A and B are shown apart, each in its own frame.
Chain A
Amino acid sequence: MSGIGEIRQSVIGAASIGGLEAYRFHLGRSDIPDRERAWIYCQLSEALYHQGRRDAAVECARNAFDLQPEKEEIANLCAWVFSNCGEHEAAAAAYERLLAIRPHWAAGHRHASGSFAAAGQLERAISHGKKASDLDPHSFEFAFHAACLLEVTGRPEQAAKYFIRAAALDPNDAGALRHLSAILLTLDQSEQAVALALRAVALAPADRLNTLHATELLLRSSRYDEAAAIILDVVDIHGEKDPVALRLLSATQMLRGLTQDALVAIDRALALSPQTTEYHLHRANLLHRLGRLDEAAEAFGRAAALDPSNPDPKRSQLTVYFDSGRVIEALAIGGELMRTSPDNEEYARTVLQVLHRRLEMLDTDYVVLGERPLRRTRELRPQPTIFAALQTQLRVIYALMMRETRTRLADSKLGYGWALLEPVLHILMLSLVFAVMMRGRPPIGDKFFIFYYTGIIAYHLFVHSSSSMTYAITSSGPLLQLPLVSTLDVMVARGLVEVLTDVVVATILLAGFFAVGLGLLPHDLPALSASVVAVSLFGCGIGLINAAINSFLKSWDKIWAQLTRTLYFCSGIFYVPGMMPDWIRDILAWNPILHAVDWFRSSFFSEYEPHWLDRSYLAILAAVSVAAGLCLERGLRRHLYEPL
């Protein structure tokens, strides 16, 4: 037996009887050439396939293809067997063989593409798929297949081209429209995408994928109510077994502000698919929105338990705990977050915030004022009027004077004793010295004490006020911290205390002189008062000026003390200017204190009326000095007092 025709006839004949032994017998023969053997394997493979023995069929096809891959007939049959038996790689190889022989075979490219795609070789699948559609652009299936491949591999522009081709070939195919819609969405043509999706729904209203897709697109374009209309229909039909539709319904209701309905929908979805992390997360967010914080925290906890590798549910759970004041739980979650994601800065900051809150709660030194009631708004207090301001100032000066007198009493042992002792010592000393020199006769009158008294009191009225005001500001620094106390108040109070003290001392001394029988009443009480007022004002005016000078020249108070000592000799305290030569008296007459002493003295001694005495000179100087002092205080207020 040698002719090919014979062998084939024998094989076909044997096969037609029914057994497969004939194939085996011929294959077992050693005198059959390879091409015949390949043919027999093909026949056997087909027969085995029809008998349902797929593994054996594939085995035979492999043998045939190995023996003679270049023959079209063999490759064709092998490709058919392979692809039908799920041997996609082998099928793809066989189709490639065939395409090498028939390169313009569109269906072949489509088959090859399918096989490559099934074998996971997407690049080659795409190249064949595109070829198939390009070779036969009128095939809807080819275009759709190529487009889907391109879509899957993330090439939306090319995919769009083939989907458009497919849609043009069959404008009523909802699937193609839906795919095209999805592609357009990724290409940022959302309006067209929505239009196509809606058309797809109109073409196939019962198709679940179409409706879900359309709902999603409508939600994205904020057309919530239209989305709701579609998804509610879907849920009516598929609701009992479609968690995805329920999830979409929940999202739709949430976006429509129907949080309660959204919660119902997601609960139904979770009943169908309790293991989906995302559903739990969504539900937790809804509960958070509804203010059901404890349930939200629990839901986040469930989501975290389902997906331990994702820290975000934990992060959300922490926020809910924190918001609901469960700081300790929040802190525990924070610890877990720090352990699982130690490098996440946002988490670290959140945990720090929780720690701060915890610290505040631990800080028992202070009363937590979280429950502080809202205060009612208070009437605005009007700005003080000039009258009110003056009243306040008088009150402050009075308080300062009270304080000043008390301070004096408290400051030293002698206290006010010194105020009394000082003029007494002066008078005694002068009386003693001059009683000897003048042989018992004072310059005026017949009483030494009263003569020197008249000099010393007027002199002290000036010196005490002007000197003490010099350092009034520096010595009452802390007082000036009190907002109501101004530098002027302090100085005025000081000056007034000095003047009043001197007046009281003078009165007591005079009473004392009467007590020992040496008293003398002033003959002109109004003149006495006028002189006291004039010299006091002058002293206060100079005191204000001194304070201003002292703020620039810190040793001014010492210089002033020297000047007052000089005045002691120039003011006619222990003499009358009439005893001096005229030219000396003319010079001394410039000294306002000389006039003060003589004014004061002349109100005691009726016989004493010196022609050089110019009362208006002192009065004008007093007025001018007070005015100048006030101006200086006003202008230098900031300079006068600068707290450290």
Chain B
Amino acid sequence: MITLEGVSKVYRTRGGRKTVLDNVNVTFESGYNFGVLGVNGAGKSTLLRLIAGSEIPDFGVIRRYARVSFPLGFGGTFHGALSGRENVAFIARIYGAGIRGVLEYVENFSELGEYLHMPVNTYSAGMRARLAFATCLALDFELYLVDEVTEVGDQRFRQKCAEAFRDRMQRSDIILVTHNIHTLRQYCDRGAILANGELTLFDDIGTALGRYQRIVQETL
């Protein structure tokens, strides 16, 4: 369960101030998968980083009653000069997980083979994504934050990710940001719409999608 209490977040951009969240009070209940909808630039990724704790809200408190993952689909935490193994070990160490177990899982899942011993600099974008995905799954979080991850990688690996995810969802929840309506419908049972600093939760992803489509049509 994640609660946002009076959370506000404003960005300074070149175009001026951009309000991502404006005094938002919501609860993401555990046991449900949430799909976050919003137009480009509404701040969906920022919302995920706030929930993860990578970013700090300007005002308000975010309470996490679960082990929350780092936003998945983001391979940027890897240090280019270090090998895949060293990067994974670092993340395992940070989360206090057994390094050997995590490495073993990542070796099996990522199918990177000898590349795991090579600096991450030498990886393609797809390989980085594999490494990130495998690491995130290896760490057994209770809430996964996913930012368009299923769009990365070749089809077979995507299928593998989907299956692993389905398996994991029997005990973990996800909050998912994606533009792919099918992915949303498949993974999520509840929805959230982020628009103009307001975050609205819906008990049903279908309702959320309907409402969102109306919002998009209105802005067109």
* Residues in chain A within 8 A of chain B (CB atoms): 356, 359-360, 363, 365-369, 372-373, 375-378, 380-383, 392, 395-396, 398-399, 402-403, 406-407, 410-411, 478-485, 637-638, 643
List, sorted by A's number, 28 A–B pairs whose CB atoms are closer than 8 Å. A360-B185, A366-B158, A366-B186, A367-B186, A369-B186, A369-B187, A375-B170, A375-B173, A376-B31, A378-B171, A380-B66, A381-B65, A383-B65, A392-B96, A395-B93, A395-B96, A399-B90, A402-B93, A403-B79, A406-B86, A407-B79, A410-B82, A410-B119, A481-B70, A482-B70, A482-B91, A484-B53, A484-B94
Q: Which of B30, B58, B82 contacts A378 (CB 8 A)?
A: B30
Q: Top 3 nearest A-B pairs by Cβ distance?
A: A483-B53, A399-B93, A380-B65
Q: Which of B63, B65, B77, B159 contacts A482 (CB 8 A)?
A: B77
Provide the residues of chain B in CB contact with A638, threshold 8 Å. 56, 58
A377, B66: Cα distance in complex, Å: 12
Q: Which of A402, A481, A484, A637 contacts B76 (CB 8 A)?
A: A481
CB proximity of A64 to chain B, nearest CB, Å: 78
B115 within 8 Å of A by Cβ?
A: no
**Residue among B1, B68, B74, B81 with most chain A CB within 10 A:** B81
User: A380-B30, A380-B66, A481-B49 known; A399 and B55 CB under 8 Å?
Assistant: no
Assess whether A381 is in contact with B142, with CB atoms less than 8 Å apart.
yes
Assess whether B70 is in contact with A373, with CB atoms less than 8 Å apart.
no
Q: Which of A368, A369, A399, A407 contacts B82 (CB 8 A)?
A: A407
Q: Which of A365, A407, A481 contacts B77 (CB 8 A)?
A: A481
CB proximity of A478 to chain B, nearest CB, Å: 4
Provide the residues of chain A in CB contact with B67, threshold 8 Å. 381
User: A363-B182, A377-B30, A480-B54 known; A399 and B94 CB under 8 Å?
Assistant: yes
Provide the residues of chain B in CB contact with A372, threshold 8 Å. 166, 169
Provide the residues of chain B in CB contact with A368, threshold 8 Å. 186
B155 within 8 Å of A by Cβ?
A: yes
Please report which residues of chain B, range 155-196, place their CB below 8 angstroms from some CB of chain A when the two chains form the complex: 155, 158-159, 162-163, 166, 169-171, 173, 181-183, 185-187
Provide the residues of chain A in CB contact with B169, threshold 8 Å. 369, 372, 375
B150 within 8 Å of A by Cβ?
A: yes
B105 within 8 Å of A by Cβ?
A: no
Q: Which of B71, B90, B170 contacts A481 (CB 8 A)?
A: B71
Assess whether B182 is in contact with A360, with CB atoms less than 8 Å apart.
yes
Assess whether B76 is in contact with A478, with CB atoms less than 8 Å apart.
yes
Given contact pairs A378-B30, A378-B66, A482-B54, a sample of 12 additional A-B residue pairs in the complex whose CB atoms are under 8 Å apart: A356-B181, A366-B150, A369-B186, A369-B187, A375-B170, A376-B31, A378-B31, A378-B142, A407-B79, A410-B119, A481-B49, A638-B58
Provide the residues of chain B in CB contact with A375, threshold 8 Å. 31, 169-171, 173
A402, B88: Cα distance in complex, Å: 12
* Residues in chain B within 8 A of chain A (CB atoms): 1, 30-31, 49, 52-56, 58, 63-68, 70-71, 74, 76-79, 81-82, 86, 90-91, 93-96, 119, 142, 150, 155, 158-159, 162-163, 166, 169-171, 173, 181-183, 185-187
A396, B93: Cα distance in complex, Å: 7
Q: Which of B68, B173, B187 contacts A483 (CB 8 A)?
A: B68
Q: Which of A359, A383, A410, A478 contacts B182 (CB 8 A)?
A: A359
A369, B187: Cα distance in complex, Å: 7
**Residue among A383, A407, A484 with most chain B CB within 10 A:** A484
A398, B169: Cα distance in complex, Å: 32
A313, B82: Cα distance in complex, Å: 67
A378, B55: Cα distance in complex, Å: 26
Question: Nearest A residue to B173 by beta-carbon distance?
Answer: A375
A529, B182: Cα distance in complex, Å: 64
CB proximity of B35 to chain A, nearest CB, Å: 13
CB proximity of A417 to chain B, nearest CB, Å: 16
Assess whether B49 is in contact with A643, with CB atoms less than 8 Å apart.
yes
**Residue among A367, A392, A407 with most chain B CB within 10 A:** A367
Provide the residues of chain B in CB contact with A410, threshold 8 Å. 81-82, 119
User: A375-B170, A637-B56 known; A398 and B93 CB under 8 Å?
Assistant: yes
Assess whether A478 is in contact with B65, with CB atoms less than 8 Å apart.
no
CB proximity of A482 to chain B, nearest CB, Å: 5
Assess whether A483 is in contact with B54, with CB atoms less than 8 Å apart.
yes
